[in-house]
Structures are given as C-alpha cells and as structure tokens.
C-alpha cells in the first residue's frame, strides 16, 4: 500500500507537507498541492478514511437534502444539473455526498439529526419551500450550510437572478412587438415562483403595459401537465395573449403541446418563452426560447461557500446571485405591424 512517506520521497516534499496537501490545508500553495495530488493519482495512493478522519477531525462527507412540495428532487433537470455540478467540485476537494432519505420523516427523525448522526462536515440544501421547518432547523444549527434556490438572511444562499430573468423575458417579447403578454407562473409560495412573478410585473409596469388579471395564471409545481392546463385557460379567453412568459421549461413544453392540440401554431399564432434551459428545450418543435439558469456556476459557488465555512469552522451569512441569460431559439416571433 502506498503511504504518504512514499509520496514524500517521490515528490521531494516533507511528509508533513504531503499530509497537509492531501487534507486541503490552506497554508499549502496551489502549485504544491496540485503536484502532490497528481503524484498521488499516478501512484494509486488511497487514503484510509478512518485514519484520515481521526487526523483531520473531519468525516469528509457532505449531507444533501432536497426540500420541495412536489418531491421531484433529482428527477428535475435543473436540480440534477445543480447537484451534479456541486458533486463534481466537492469531490475535487476530497468530499463524498450523502443524500438524505425521504423515509426519515416516517421514522420520527429530522434531517438535522440524521446528518449529525452521520457526522457530516456540512450540509447543502436545494430548497424551493421557504416554509419547511426542517430546513429552518438546519439553518438555526451551528453546522456549515448552503441553501440553493432560496433567499434567507441567516445563512449562505446561492440562487439565480430570477428578478432579472423575468425582466429579460418581458423586454424581449416587447422588442418583438408584443403588448398582450401573459405569465404562467410557478406556485407563488415557492421562492422562484414568487420572484419570477415579481420580475414579470415589474417589467410590465416599466413598459407601461397592462397587467390583466386573467393573464396571470398559477401553473403550480412546474410540471408539464400543469403548464398544459394553464395554457388551455389562456386560450379559452375572449382575447388570448399574443405571447406567454412561462416560469419553467417543463410547463412551457406542456403549454406548447396544449396549443398544438387546439390548432394554435407556435410562434405564428402565439409566442412562448420558458425558463431554465433544460436539455429538452433545444429538441422540442419549435425549439424553445428560454431564460438560462447557470447550473454549473450555482454548483461551483455553493461548493466554494461550503468549503470556506468548513475550513474556517464557522458559518458564513452571504448571498450569491447568479446571472441568467436569454437563449433565443424558435418559439417567439416578431409581430407584424398592423396597416
């Protein structure tokens, strides 16, 4: 078995420096650490997890919890992309992830109790439910924590700039000549749903466009089925909108299918813009114009914030807002000026 002494001999560094590099101590330069890690990989060095935890007083594990009412979790492309980015960058720091089982609620054990029992060094929560008492319990505890996709003044949070995202969508549709613009929103009690509604309303007011009550439809929990039902409601109106901003790509895809089933052509008869930029958005017909969330950057910043807390052994309260961008495809069309 390869030891740190073998690595020290091979690299020319002391065994102390090698140990510090492997355990991510801040007083080892990035260049030295990289050289030691590359040599360790070449020689097939495998650290003993128990010995490592004893020497560093760390478990080298991070707890992961999903908190959303619809319990989709990693099945949703946005969540899976974020957690994959987080996993990839956390593993570079030597950490493994532990996903909390939903069965905990049936066993009378809280997520915090479970994570403390497992001895995790920190927790990442992907949360769309700001009222979840289990999330609040973890935020109130002393353990390092980062919450993704929600704002909270008492911990580190990382989320997309949903307010600007709503404005991007409305400004784009306005530039194409649309004035009757509807919004199929996510559930307003969910942070992302609430802020995207606000982004829509703020942008409409700035452009002096009427916010028609019937044009604001609650699409619920961001599903394809709910998007289809919401679009049917809009198309049943005496004067349907010429364009719709939809708060999630799954809902947008459902809305597109509902429109097609009624003989409404996209974008000839109605323009549709989604939110997320999931992989499927570029494969539907027509290809979906959408607001892209930078899932990789969300995962990176969440990892960096959690690592900083673990190293400094204290919680950090900060807010990271990740920019979004408009992805133009085929589902929106410029309105012809009436003669």
Structure confidence by residue, pLDDT tens digits, 269-289: 999 999 999 999 999 999 999
More confident residue, 59 or 212: 212
Given a cut of 70, whether residue 181 has pLDDT beyond it is: yes
Token pair 């109790």 is found at 113
Given a cut of 50, whether residue 50 has pLDDT beyond it is: no
Element spanning 122, H or E: strand 122-127
Average pLDDT, the chain: 89
Among 44-48, 171-175, 257-261, 276-280, name the one with the lowest average pLDDT: 44-48
Q: Domain segments of the chain: what residues?
A: 4-56, 61-159+294-322, 162-293
Quick check: 138 and 146 in contact, CB under 8 A? no
- How many Å apart are CA 258 and CA 228, to the nearest integer? 5
What phi and psi, each to the nearest 5 degrees, are found at residue 136? -60, -35
pLDDT for res 277:
97
Given a cut of 60, whether residue 55 has pLDDT beyond it is: no
Which CATH architecture best describes the domain 4-56?
Answer: Orthogonal Bundle (1.10)
- How many Å apart are CA 154 and CA 136, to the nearest integer? 9
Token pair 């028609």 is found at 212
Q: What is the DSSP letter of 156?
A: E
pLDDT for res 76:
79
Q: How far does Cα 46 stand from its chain's mean position?
A: 32
Confidence band for 68, pLDDT divided at 50, 70 and 90 = low
What is the rounded average pLDDT of the residues 219-227? 93
Q: What is the DSSP letter of 26?
A: T
What is the rounded average pLDDT of the residues 5-21? 88
Confidence band for 177, pLDDT divided at 50, 70 and 90 = very high
> Do 61-159+294-322 and 162-293 agree at the fold level?
yes
Among 25-29, 228-232, 265-269, 274-278, name the one with the lowest average pLDDT: 25-29
In sequence order, the 6+-apart residues with CB closer than 8 A to the CB of 167 are: 199, 202, 203, 206
- How many Å apart are CA 176 and CA 244, to the nearest integer? 13
Which of the following CATH numbers is that of domain 162-293: 3.40.50.300, 3.50.50.60, 3.40.50.2300, 1.20.1630.10?
3.40.50.2300
- How many Å apart are CA 172 and CA 180, to the nearest integer? 13
Q: Which CATH number applies to 61-159+294-322?
A: 3.40.50.2300
CA dihedral 71, 303, 85, 225 (to 10 degrees): 20
3-state DSSP assignment of residue 74 = helix
Token pair for 70: 């619809």
- Sequence-ordered alpha helix ranges (H) in the chain: 4-11, 15-22, 30-43, 49-56, 77-92, 111-118, 133-140, 162-175, 191-206, 224-235, 249-261, 295-312
Sheet holding 96-99, edge to edge: 96-99, 61-67, 122-127, 145-148, 156-160, 319-322
């Amino acid at each position: 078995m390869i030891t740190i002494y073998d690595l020290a001999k091979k690299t020319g560094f002391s065994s102390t420096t090698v140990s510090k590099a492997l355990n991510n101590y801040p007083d080892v330069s990035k260049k030295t650490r990289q050289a030691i890690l590359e040599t360790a990989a070449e020689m097939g060095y495998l650290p003993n997890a128990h010995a490592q935890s004893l020497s560093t007083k760390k478990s080298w594990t991070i707890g992961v919890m999903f908190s959303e009412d619809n319990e989709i979790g990693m099945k949703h492309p946005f969540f899976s992309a974020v957690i994959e980015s987080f996993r990839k960058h956390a593993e570079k720091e030597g950490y493994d992830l532990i996903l909390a089982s939903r069965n905990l609620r049936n066993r009378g054990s809280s997520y915090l109790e479970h994570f403390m029992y497992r001895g995790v060094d920190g927790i990442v929560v992907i949360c769309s439910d700001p009222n979840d008492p289990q999330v609040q319990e973890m935020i109130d505890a002393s353990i390092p924590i980062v919450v993704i996709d929600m704002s909270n003044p008492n911990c580190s949070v990382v989320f997309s700039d949903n307010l600007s995202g709503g404005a991007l969508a409305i400004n784009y549709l306005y530039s194409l000549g649309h004035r009757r613009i509807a919004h199929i929103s996510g559930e307003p009690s969910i942070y992302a749903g609430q802020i995207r509604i606000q982004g829509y309303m703020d942008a409409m007011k700035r452009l002096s466009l009427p916010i028609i009550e019937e044009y604001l439809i609650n699409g619920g929990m961001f599903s394809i089925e709910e998007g289809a039902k919401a679009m049917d409601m809009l198309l049943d109106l005496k004067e349907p909108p010429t364009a719709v901003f939809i708060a999630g790509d799954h809902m947008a895809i459902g809305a597109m299918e509902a429109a097609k089933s009624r003989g409404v052509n996209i974008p000839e008869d109605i323009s549709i813009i989604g939110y997320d930029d999931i992989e499927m958005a570029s494969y539907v017909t027509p290809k979906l114009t959408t607001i892209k969330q930078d899932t990789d950057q969300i995962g990176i910043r969440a990892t960096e914030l959690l690592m900083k807390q673990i190293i400094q052994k204290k919680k950090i309260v900060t807010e990271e807002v990740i920019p979004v961008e408009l992805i133009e495809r085929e589902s929106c069309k410029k309105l012809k000026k009436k003669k």
